[in-house]
Structure 1
Amino acid sequence: MTVPTTTAELPGGGQASAPKISLRDVTKRHDTQLALDRITLDIPVSTFFVVVGPSGCGKTTLLRMLAGLDAPSEGRIDIANSQPGHPQNSMVFQGDSLFPWMTVWDNAAYGLTMRKVPKARIDEVVGHYLNKTGMYGARTLYPHQLSGGMRQRVSIARAFANDPDILLMDEPFSALDEQNKTLLHEELLRIWEETRKTVVFITHSVDEAVTLGDRIMVMTAGPGRIKTIVPVNLPRPRKVVELRHTPAYGELVYDIWAQLREEVDRARSREPGSKA
């Protein structure tokens, strides 16, 4: 795919010659229903880009189009390919996406195996990411023997091991308790600092968005439009618990929630039976 030759600011300063992901007037209709309306957006390379918005605003629809699982009704999506021969994207889903008949190791190695990567390289890469996620000791277990948090660790290891150009994550931690969420936030941040993959991360949690993101896009109630994009000027690397006790963190959470609350209230006012 071709990419417009615009400039975009990198998360840590400096300029990239072109965005990693570029959307121009992207609109999506499901039959007669307008899901997304004229989304124009540039995501710089190596950015951890987070999307928040009320239910039904088209967040997952947007992610599916970035993954190539769906196409815009109108407009254009361009993704710069910097790794020929590697997958353009890997996805981490909200639900359990592991193959139940495969061990932890074989699940993590799946993408590399399908690409016929040499076994020695698979052993090196998969071992590295299972170590990073704390799952190496469980490498011979099957998904039914793991907790929900452990299964998501394997999903993250598999996604990074596959070495995609971009990583797409659809509310991957929403079903977990707060303790497991915090631990997985820390592990994800450590791996991301090492790889600096371009990430698009969908969440309903403002806390999660500020903890992880470089930029946060707040979407309007459906049809989904861009309400605002907020830069997260918090230093990296980040320690999750310490970060959440800083005034800057609290101010960002408050400001983004104020923006999001307007849209959540608008979405609720349209629900059947609402008195609004």
Structure 2
Amino acid sequence: MTDQYTTTALRDSRPQDGTAEPEIKVCVRGLLKQFPAKDRMVTALDSLDLDIPRGQFFMIVGPSGCGKTTLLRILAHLEQPTAGTVEVLRSTEGRPENSMVFQGDSIFPWMTVWDNASYGLRMRGAPAAEIKETVGHYLDKTGLTAFADCYPHQLSGGMRQRVSIARAFANDPDVLLMDEPFSALDEQNKTLLQSELLRIWDETRKTVIFITHSVDEAVTLGDRIMIMTSRPGRAKAFVDVPFERPRDVLELRHRPEYGEIVYDIWQHLRDEVNNAQVTAPQSQQRRWFRR
């Protein structure tokens, strides 16, 4: 096994070589999230500590039901933690703290591509010239310029996800949250969108927190990967991805180190997936095996 990357069992994003510590953008301490069930409380997340440096492309993988989406929803202020703290270092007043890209269609069906992509800026009252320049830039980056006047029902699934990505980046958030945005796409569209996302991210270097069930996707896109336990979700291990940027999605997967990292992550995940299958309802087990 190569020593070009490191796996750590517990949280610690601080460098060990004497260099300056990275500026932490997202700080989570002692996070606990419980939901009421019929006659008990279900613990989704427990004792989760996490530091994410500014500008990092941070990936989260884990078995179904381990609390990945719950964590993202807490970061997006769509859920409140039961206990613990979540802090996001704000960089610029007036900029939104986060934008979220969901797994399914999340764009407005009654709006054109242009109106969807400009929605966040318009809600913030951005000047018309800024909206025109910013939205035009991201429609161009996502290959949607020729479809600016189209409605979502006129677009393929992959193109609708491009609109979601364009809207998220145009909104210029401090943190971009992505919940399995490519999981419903075929392999060709998924690869194309991964490449486009990386090109846009290389330009902006936003802090990204990205959930995926695909270990390949995690290694392809990420700087660092958190592997979660089965429910209740905790951080089991962190893997630092050593590949330089910019990255070519297809070329990267030919490298022998790529396969070694994928294998290492699956070794960590295997027991957690098995544990999740033992405790999950049958309907959830069927969903996992279809992935």
**TM over 0.5: same fold?**
yes
2:177 and 2:135 mapped to 1: Cα distance? Answer: 19
| Residues 179 and 117 (structure 1), Cα distance of their counterparts in 2 relative to 1, 3 Å cut | same
**How far has the Cα of 1:23 moved from its partner?**
0.4
Q: Which residue of 1 aligns with 2:105?
A: 96
| Residues 17 and 207 (structure 1), Cα distance of their counterparts in 2 relative to 1, 3 Å cut | closer
Trace 1:196-215 onto structure 2 (pairs within 5 A). Answer: 196-215=205-224
1:100 corresponds to which letter in structure 2? P
- Residue number among 20, 27, 36 corresponding to 2:25 in the alignment: 20
| Residues 191 and 272 (structure 1), Cα distance of their counterparts in 2 relative to 1, 3 Å cut | closer
Q: Which residue of 1 aligns with 2:188?
A: 179
| Residues 138 and 234 (structure 1), Cα distance of their counterparts in 2 relative to 1, 3 Å cut | same
Q: Which residue of 2 aligns with 1:4?
A: none
**How far has the Cα of 1:41 moved from its partner?**
0.8
**How far has the Cα of 1:162 moved from its partner?**
0.2
The 8 Å contact of residues 26 and 37 in structure 1, kept in 2 or not, is answered as: yes
Structure 2 segments unaligned to the other structure (5+ residues):
1-11, 286-291
Q: TM-score scaled to structure 2, two decimals?
A: 0.89
Trace 1:1-276 onto structure 2 (pairs within 5 A). Answer: 9=14, 15-16=20-21, 18-31=23-36, 32-271=41-280
2:19 and 2:131 mapped to 1: Cα distance? Answer: 35
2:222 and 2:122 mapped to 1: Cα distance? Answer: 31
Structure 1 segments unaligned to the other structure (5+ residues):
1-6
The 8 Å contact of residues 14 and 22 in structure 2, kept in 1 or not, is answered as: no
1:250 and 1:271 mapped to 2: Cα distance? Answer: 29
Q: Considering Cα pairs closer than 8 Å and 6+ residues apart, tell me whether 1 or 2 has the greater RCO.
A: 2
2:278 corresponds to which letter in structure 1? S
**How far has the Cα of 1:17 moved from its partner?**
5.7
1:240 corresponds to which letter in structure 2? V
2:32 corresponds to which letter in structure 1? T
Specify the SS of the correspondent of 1:149.
Answer: helix
2:211 corresponds to which letter in structure 1? I
| Residues 271 and 71 (structure 1), Cα distance of their counterparts in 2 relative to 1, 3 Å cut | closer
**How far has the Cα of 1:15 moved from its partner?**
3.4
2:266 corresponds to which letter in structure 1? W
**How far has the Cα of 1:14 moved from its partner?**
5.5
1:133 corresponds to which letter in structure 2? T
1:57 and 1:199 mapped to 2: Cα distance? Answer: 20
Q: Deviations over 1:14-51 (max 9, x none)?
A: 53464100000000000100110010110000000000
259-268 or 21-30: bigger deviation: 259-268
The 8 Å contact of residues 8 and 15 in structure 1, kept in 2 or not, is answered as: no
Q: Deviations over 1:145-194 (max 9, x none)?
A: 00000000010000000000000000000000000000000000000000
2:22 and 2:134 mapped to 1: Cα distance? Answer: 30
The 8 Å contact of residues 67 and 89 in structure 1, kept in 2 or not, is answered as: yes
The 8 Å contact of residues 206 and 256 in structure 1, kept in 2 or not, is answered as: yes
2:233 and 2:22 mapped to 1: Cα distance? Answer: 29
2:171 corresponds to which letter in structure 1? N
1:231 and 1:215 mapped to 2: Cα distance? Answer: 5
Q: TM-score scaled to structure 1, two decimals?
A: 0.93
Sequence identity percentage: 65
2:22 and 2:226 mapped to 1: Cα distance? Answer: 22
Report the RMSD for the aligned CA atoms in angstroms: 1.6
1:105 and 1:240 mapped to 2: Cα distance? Answer: 28
